[in-house]
Amino acid sequence: MKKIAVKCIGLLAIVFGLTSCSLLGLGGSEGTIEAGSTALSEHDFTEAESQYCNVYNDDNTNSEAAFGCFFAKALMLPESDDSASLLELAGEDPVIMEQALYSPDDGLVTFKHLIEGGSFPLTFNYSDFNLPFRNFSSPGQALVKYMTGYKFAIEVPDSEYFSDYLNFGSLLNTIILNGGDSSSVERRLLAYSDELEEMEAILADVLTDEAFLFSVPQGFANTSVEPVVRRTDVLALSAMVKTARVLIGLIEGYDMGINIEDVVRTIDGVPQIDVALLVADINGSGATINGVTVDSIPALTLIDSSKIQEQKTRMIEALEHAQSALELWSSSGDSSAENSDFYGAHRLSGDHISSEDYENSADFLGEVSASGSAGMTQLSFFANRGNFDVRINLENFFDNPPDGTSAVNEFGSMLSLEDSYNDPVSYSEAEEYENSTLQPVFIEAFFRNFGEDFFTVENL
């Protein structure tokens, strides 16, 4: 499932990074749509936005102009002041889209590993591209593996997980050194709310056109032929934008309760996450560990349930749109209007996603979205493999959002550590690392104490 999820994310990111639109319009709007296409070919995204959005604002049923407007806005978003502010806080250079897309060796469009005669990456690896945070591989996986006692799933300190773990600690330390904290990161993420709302509405107008097609200007896509953006691709993009809006809602509705300045320590000159402090901070214990006192606010303390509740329909729609895109991508016949040139190109790689993978992923998303109205729903992906009985209830999560403070008051904690937990350890020598007494965080306590009403896992 992990491989499928990573590949699906890769596909969506490729679609988002490579697609643009430019079919000639009809009647009075022909000139401005043609001008928008020309602007995209010349990499003038400001002019493309002006041309496409002017037509769209006059007629929101014009799906060509609508998608052109959306795509130009999406291309400009990484260069916005909000993005520059967030990247500056993290110690990253601002994005210049011309370089991100067309840098000779590592641009999204001009990537060095290309299909002969085209310009699509054979496989998607974020670190291959000229983008921020490219030194990361799987930071989330690294932290989870560390906390769950996989011996860091590393074995030796030069593995990608070890590198990502140290990169993550370094990133948080950079934010702190730049005067940032958890609240300043959240504020910068919330600044995207208006843009995401606008982009979601534009894509909704595009999806009203059941026969939607767009040819990508050759000058933009750097191809010998004009790839076509289809309704399938728009469904995938819509799922991404809706999911981002749901995450914004969660940030607005919860006090995340994790203070990065309290959980990062420097060991042997290397900034690292002190997991003992992280667990204490998530539990809101107010404890003093290694000379640092964490606050008494548990993670995911509910501050405005309405912000969570109003995201229910949007989350279900995001899952349904992603499910529909996967189902269409899994069907045969790349020339069909139901398929995608981008999916078809990806299939040429030696490590492509099979139709069965797509279908299994689509079924999984369908069951998760169904739980938004049907209550606790078993996920057959796990049951069919004879591993776990996993059940989810999105309906209850959004209708009755769980509260970290209530969970701690009732159960005493959200996470717990083995008594013998020794954190952090020095990673200066491989032998010292391999002989460390790293013990797991009890992640299952989180689901038992915090999430029992919307997520359950039992061994089969």
pLDDT of residue 269: 80
Say what the pLDDT of residue 184 is. Answer: 92
User: 383 — alpha (psi -120 to 50), left (phi > 0) or beta?
Assistant: alpha
For residues 165 and 425, what is the distance between their CA atoms, to the nearest angstrom? 13
Provide the pLDDT for residue 53: 96
- Provide φ and ψ at 41, rounded to 5°: -60, -35
State residue 111's pLDDT score.
62
Q: What is the structure's pLDDT at 263? A: 87
Query: Which parts of the chain sit beneath pLDDT 70?
Result: 1-31, 111-126, 137-162, 165, 330-355, 386, 417-445, 460
Cis status of the peptide bond prior to 424, with omega within 30 of 0: yes
Which pLDDT belongs to residue 23?
31
Beta-carbon-side half-sphere exposure of residue 110 (alpha carbons within 13 Å):
14
Per-residue CA distances from 289 to 275, 279, 331, 428 (Å)? 11, 11, 55, 22
How much is the pLDDT for 238? 96
Q: How does strand 264-267 pair with strand 388-392?
A: unpaired
Question: Which pLDDT does position 59 carry in this prediction?
Answer: 94
Q: What is the pLDDT of residue 150?
A: 47
Q: Which two tokens stand for residue 228?
A: 């076509």
Both tokens of 401, joined, read 């959002």
| Contact of 131 with 154, CB cutoff 8 Å | no
Q: Report pLDDT digits (tens) over 61-102.
A: 999 999 999 999 999 999 999 999 999 999 999 999 998 888
